[in-house]
Amino acid sequence: MAQKVLNYFIYILAKRDYTSQELIDKALDKGYSGAETKAAIASLKEMNYVDDHRFVETALHTYKGQKGYFWITQKLRRRKVPESIIEQELDGVEFEVDDNFKAKVQHKYKLESFADLDFKLKSKILNYISRQGFRNSMQILQGWERDAVDSHHQ
């Protein structure tokens, strides 16, 4: 019967990545026993099909620069990555915005430049940056404003 659980896991893993806990939950929802599920998870880990550390690394690679620490952390928690792995993998990671994120903000708010933003627009941009999970939205926007003024004076 553990082979049936393993086959089910391989079938769903072919479509997308799952964390160990997500797979356990799916198996239990399907009515598989805990022992069968544990055996199948152990086999998947042996075959390197499931690795929560790799899951976090992939998420970082995918979202870093576009999303900040808080957004990525919440995503990993929703995907049931153990807190200890989240802390271990995110420790020391710098969450800086990249140029694509800056361009996305400019496009979203139809800005040619970050120079001379009015208070209302500045507040909207700060809120947006914060919602994307960045801790230092004010410093990010101030940096963009400085860059805009510097490039205007050149």
Radius of gyration of the chain (CA): 21
Give the helix ranges, DSSP H, for the chain.
2-13, 20-29, 34-46, 52-63, 69-78, 83-90, 99-108, 119-131, 137-153
pLDDT interval class at 94 (50, 70, 90) = very high
- Whether the pLDDT of residue 85 is over 70: the answer is yes
pLDDT at 149: 80
For the chain, the structural domain boundaries read: 1-50, 51-95, 99-153
Mean pLDDT of 16-26: 97
The answer to whether 40 and 6 are in contact (CB under 8 A) is yes
Mean per-residue pLDDT over the chain, rounded: 94
Q: What is the mean pLDDT of residues 129-148?
A: 94
User: What does CATH list as the number for 1-50?
Assistant: 1.10.10
pLDDT at position 116, please?
86
Structure tokens at 65: 């620069």
Inter-axis angle of helices 83-90 and 69-78, to 10 degrees? 150
Residue 82: CA count within 13 A, CB half-sphere: 9
Q: Which of 73, 83, 80 is nearest to 20 (CA)?
A: 80
